[in-house]
Amino acid sequence: MPRHHPWREMRALPEWSVHFTPSLPWGAHGWTRWSDKTIWLLDSLTQTQRRCALEHERQHVLRGADGQGDLEEAAVEYATARALVPLDELLDALRWSRHPREVADHCWVTLDVLTCRVRNLHPAEVAAVAEVLRHHHAA
C-alpha cells in the first residue's frame, strides 16, 4: 500500500493553496484561513513536521469550517493520525523497534501523531499489535 501523501491529496482541493510563513499565532505549526482558502505552514518545520501539519490542516478543510473547539480538534488529530499511520506501517515499525521515536521516524510522523494513533487503536488493531509484540519478544 503506498504511503499517504498529503501534498498529493491537496490536488483534490484545487481551490486551496498552501503557503509558508515565518510565524503563526498561538505557537501553531499550521493554520487554515477560510476567507481565502489558504493553508499556512511555518517555514521552519522539518519535512516530517510539514507533512503532519499539512495533513492536520487538510483534515480541517475536509471536515468544514463549522467545527471549532476541543472536540473538533481531537477529531482532526485522530483523523490525521489514522491517515498518516496505517496499521500495516505501524506493525512493520514495531517488528524492529519498540522505541517511540524510532517508530515515529519509520512512519514519517511526529511523536505527537504517533501517540495519538496508538492511544486510539481499535480493539482489533490492539490485538494485531499485541501479536507482533508477542512474536518479536519470542524471537
Residue-level pLDDT at 2: 76
Q: Any idea which fold 1-84 has? A: Arc Repressor Mutant, subunit A (1.10.10)
Could you tell me which of 14, 46, 23, 42 has the C-alpha nearest to residue 113? Answer: 46
* pTM score of the predicted model: 0.92
pLDDT tens digits for 36-69?
999 999 999 999 999 999 999 999 999 997 667 8
pLDDT > 60? residue 31: yes
- Domain residue spans in the chain? 1-84, 85-139
pLDDT tens digits for 69-101?
899 999 999 999 999 999 999 999 999 899 999
Residue-level pLDDT at 69: 87
Length of the chain: 139
Say how many Å lie between the first and final Cα of the chain, rounded.
26
| Cα separation, 31 vs 17, whole angstroms | 12
